[in-house]
């Protein structure tokens, strides 16, 4: 009777390869050249620090924008953290989310031809991409339902897919079949507006080169005692496996289908429907929305303009005798109240999606930055770019639930210490008794500090306390040589960036008031019921 309450509808879970082997072997000279180029490019931002902020911001932006995928991805993550960097620098770096350097339109056509797409079916609304990120750029196109024919001269001149010279007959048949299949699929969407995502040229080689450099750097960093708890070698290897998934768009198509299935009942979350994909090209439904940064800026500018107009007219808002003043004050308060209400609803929608993905669906979008999130006119959330995702295995999900409940619900540092040592094989030689005692004391001090916060304290104060005790925990891990499981790196980075997005939507962070309710709704309910029954009936688990 009660099993249906906790049952989950099954879905086809994506299967990933655990190891990616590089098809490119770069000599040490190429790696040294890449390191020298990075070292030289970081000098201008350092020298420009004393100069005016505009010059300094431009040099920092050029460093992150012109040094490859890995460096640009780091800049995208940092742009979400206004608590770590200045607001002006974050605004400049936020252009990396969807206005990164783009490749020429000629290269786009060349990639489409190489992937066996019939270019005559595409009508590009503009030759400029509507968005460009660290890996790919996106175009807005309209599908033609009729194929445009070209003479033999033009086919030969522009090398359209219909023309295959000096190739083997088997290759010709394969290419013709691929072109015919893609043509039939796309013609079903005639006169529809679609989006085409295309990988930047040479991205694959650049990523493999950076991964090879990171592997060698990890061997050096692992010797440093202060970084021993981070398990650098496994961390870098796991990072490589994740970023290499993003340069194959067939994997993103699969992730989009899974996420659409998981959010099909949520009317406030929109995900584009993928049409077809190859390694370097992804064709999908076009969903139009406004970025979070531009939306917040537009709303705040409207409020500031209303305030400026009121000051120019010389009508104080508190002048109750003037009817125009009262009407203006009423309209301003209504606009501000509506904007605040929409922001709260939007932030709760985003927080609900994250909590449900983490605890219930076990499938998380791990590249959540402002460039991959937009808002419709009806205040619905649109999610893009599913190249980076994290599927939690049953063991990983169980470990996460156990650690979360022990830390934030039971607040038992002894159990937390046991989990950190026992659930990871490389921590078997740790002095368990001393470590669990100190981690328990640290956790108790943390929650006492949080409880001592009075009503005048803000959520930013709680955030600063959490960050302080987080650094203390890392020092404690280094002291006892306790390794951190690298499989949860993406979750930490995603939560780090996602918190920055929510703070941009609603700076006062009142949306976190809904967190407890969401955790009980989508979180580890079965775990809590089991622990409660065990302790009450058998007196165990203390």
pLDDT of 395 above 90: no
Distance CA 487, CA 396 (A): 8
- When pLDDT is averaged across residues 256-266 and rounded to a whole number, the result is 91
- When pLDDT is averaged across residues 377-405 and rounded to a whole number, the result is 85
Per-residue confidence band for 391, with pLDDT thresholds at 50, 70 and 90: confident
- When pLDDT is averaged across residues 499-507 and rounded to a whole number, the result is 76
pLDDT of 167 above 50: no
Query: What separation in angstroms does the CA of 330 have from each of 335, 411, 530?
Result: 9, 47, 53
- When pLDDT is averaged across residues 387-405 and rounded to a whole number, the result is 83
pLDDT value of residue 456: 58
Specify the DSSP class assigned to residue 405.
I
pLDDT of 542 above 70: no
Q: Which residues of 320-348 are buried (b: 16+ CB within 10 A; e: fewer)?
A: eeeeebeebbeebeeeeeebeebbbebbb
Q: How many other C-beta atoms lie within 10 A of the C-beta of residue 530?
A: 12
Distance CA 173, CA 441 (A): 70
pLDDT value of residue 257: 92
Per-residue confidence band for 428, with pLDDT thresholds at 50, 70 and 90: confident
Residues 197, 284: contact at Cβ < 8 Å? yes
SS3 290: strand
Q: What's the distance, Cα to Cα, between the start and end of the chain in Å? A: 31
Per-residue confidence band for 59, with pLDDT thresholds at 50, 70 and 90: very high
Distance CA 270, CA 259 (A): 10
89 or 298: which carries more pLDDT confidence? 89
- When pLDDT is averaged across residues 100-127 and rounded to a whole number, the result is 86
pLDDT of 539 above 80: no
The pLDDT > 90 percentage for the chain reads 9
Closest listed residue to residue 442, CA positions, set 410, 408, 476: 476
pLDDT value of residue 206: 84
Per-residue confidence band for 90, with pLDDT thresholds at 50, 70 and 90: confident
Question: Which of 69-83, 145-159, 201-215 bottoms out in mean pLDDT, i.e. has the lowest?
Answer: 145-159
**Residue in the block written with tokens 């280094």:** 478
pLDDT value of residue 269: 92
pLDDT per residue as tens digits for the range 296-350: 766 666 656 665 555 555 545 444 445 555 444 545 555 666 777 888 888 888 8
pLDDT value of residue 517: 73
pLDDT value of residue 20: 46
Q: What are the contacts of 277-280 at 24+ separation with CB within 8 A? A: 277/249, 277/250, 277/252, 277/253, 278/115, 278/116, 278/249, 278/250, 279/115, 279/199, 279/248, 279/249, 279/250, 280/111, 280/114, 280/115, 280/198, 280/199, 280/249
Question: Which of 28-32, 38-42, 230-234, 248-252 bottoms out in mean pLDDT, i.e. has the lowest?
Answer: 230-234
310 or 76: which carries more pLDDT confidence? 76
Q: What sign has the CA pseudo-torsion 313, 316, 322, 325?
A: positive
Per-residue confidence band for 7, with pLDDT thresholds at 50, 70 and 90: very low
33 or 410: which carries more pLDDT confidence? 33
The pLDDT > 70 percentage for the chain reads 70
pLDDT value of residue 198: 93
Tokens of 457: 């304290």
- When pLDDT is averaged across residues 491-509 and rounded to a whole number, the result is 75
pLDDT value of residue 190: 65
232 or 401: which carries more pLDDT confidence? 401
Mean pLDDT of the chain: 75
pLDDT value of residue 18: 39
541 or 198: which carries more pLDDT confidence? 198
485 or 82: which carries more pLDDT confidence? 485
Domain ranges for the chain, please list them: 28-96, 105-205+242-285, 389-538
- When pLDDT is averaged across residues 212-219 and rounded to a whole number, the result is 80
pLDDT value of residue 183: 67
Where does residue 62 rank: exposed (0-12), middle (13-18), buried (19+ CB within 10 A)? middle
Per-residue confidence band for 139, with pLDDT thresholds at 50, 70 and 90: very high
Q: Whole-model pTM?
A: 0.74
**Residue in the block written with tokens 């595409």:** 122
- When pLDDT is averaged across residues 130-159 and rounded to a whole number, the result is 70
């Amino acid at each position: 009777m009660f099993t249906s309450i906790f049952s989950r509808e099954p879905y086809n879970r994506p299967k990933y390869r655990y190891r990616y082997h590089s098809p490119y072997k770069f000599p040490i000279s190429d790696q040294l050249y890449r390191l020298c180029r990075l070292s030289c490019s970081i000098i201008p931002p350092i020298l420009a620090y004393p100069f005016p902020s505009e010059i300094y911001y431009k040099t920092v932006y050029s460093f992150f924008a012109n040094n490859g995928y890995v460096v640009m991805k780091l800049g995208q993550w940092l742009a979400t953290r206004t608590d770590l960097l200045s607001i002006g620098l974050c605004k400049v770096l936020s252009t990396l989310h969807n206005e990164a350097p783009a490749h020429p339109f000629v290269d786009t056509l060349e990639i489409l031809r190489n992937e066996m797409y019939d270019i005559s079916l595409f009508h590009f609304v503009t030759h400029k991409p509507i968005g460009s990120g660290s890996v790919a750029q996106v175009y807005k196109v309209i599908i033609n339902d009729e194929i445009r024919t070209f003479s033999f001269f033009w086919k030969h001149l522009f090398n359209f897919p219909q023309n295959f010279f000096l190739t083997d007959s088997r290759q010709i048949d394969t290419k013709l079949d691929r072109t015919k299949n893609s043509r039939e699929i796309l013609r079903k969407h005639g006169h529809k507006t679609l989006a085409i995502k295309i990988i930047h040229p040479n991205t694959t080689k650049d990523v493999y080169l950076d991964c090879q450099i990171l592997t060698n750097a990890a061997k050096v960093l692992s010797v440093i005692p202060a970084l021993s708890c981070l398990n650098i070698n496994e961390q870098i290897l796991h990072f490589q496996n994740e970023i290499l998934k993003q340069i194959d768009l067939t994997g993103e198509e699969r992730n989009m289908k899974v996420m659409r299935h998981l959010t099909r009942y949520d009317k406030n979350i929109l995900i584009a429907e993928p049409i077809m994909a190859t390694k370097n090209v992804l064709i999908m439904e076009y969903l139009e929305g406004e970025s979070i940064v531009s939306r917040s800026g537009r709303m705040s500018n409207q409020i500031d303009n209303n305030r400026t107009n009121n000051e120019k007219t010389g009508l104080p808002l508190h002048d109750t005798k003037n009817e125009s003043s009262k009407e203006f004050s009423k309209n301003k308060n209504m606009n501000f109240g509506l904007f605040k209400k929409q922001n709260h609803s939007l932030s709760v929608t985003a927080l609900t999606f994250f909590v449900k993905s983490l605890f219930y669906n076990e499938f998380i979008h791990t590249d959540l930055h402002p460039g991959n999130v937009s808002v419709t006119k009806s205040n619905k959330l649109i999610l893009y770019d599913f190249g980076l995702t994290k599927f939690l295995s049953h063991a990983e999900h169980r470990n996460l639930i156990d650690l979360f409940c022990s830390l934030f619900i039971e607040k038992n540092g002894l159990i937390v210490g046991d989990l950190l040592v026992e659930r990871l094989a490389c921590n078997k030689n740790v002095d368990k008794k001393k470590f669990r005692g100190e981690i328990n004391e640290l956790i108790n001090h943390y929650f006492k500090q949080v409880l001592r916060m009075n009503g005048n304290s803000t959520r930013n104060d709680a955030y600063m306390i959490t960050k302080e005790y987080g650094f203390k925990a890392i020092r404690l891990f280094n002291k006892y040589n306790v390794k951190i499981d690298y499989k949860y790196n993406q979750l930490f980075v995603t939560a780090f960036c996602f918190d920055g997005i929510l703070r941009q939507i609603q700076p006062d962070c009142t949306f976190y008031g809904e967190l407890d309710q969401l955790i009980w709704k989508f979180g580890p309910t079965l775990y809590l019921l089991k622990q409660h029954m065990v302790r009450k009936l058998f007196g165990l688990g203390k």
